[in-house]
Amino acid sequence: MLKIHVGGSENLAEIAGMSTFGRLISPIEIADMIFFCAENAVINGSVIHANLGQVER
């Protein structure tokens, strides 16, 4: 989905470099985060940033 949004795979490396881990988050990591949120009602209404620690440039 991101390839379509940013206009091709050549921009993915640049975007991946904007995270503290130097990579994009994987679909399984997103699924795990969603599952965690669904299991823990105490975080209802919280904003969860699933971006591996974005670095502002």
> Domain locations in the chain?
2-43
DSSP letters of 1-51? -HHHHHTSGGGHHHHHTTBTTSSPPPHHHHHHHHHHHHH-GGGTT-----S
- Whole-structure pTM value: 0.64
Q: Which residues contact 3 (CB under 8 A, 6 or more apart)?
A: 9, 12
Check pLDDT > 70 for residue 9. no
Q: What is the pLDDT of residue 28?
A: 92
Q: What is the pLDDT of residue 8?
A: 67
Using an 8 Å Cβ cutoff, are 43 and 51 in contact? no
- pLDDT over 90 for what percent of the chain? 12
Q: What is the pLDDT of residue 57?
A: 65
Higher pLDDT, 55 or 46: 46
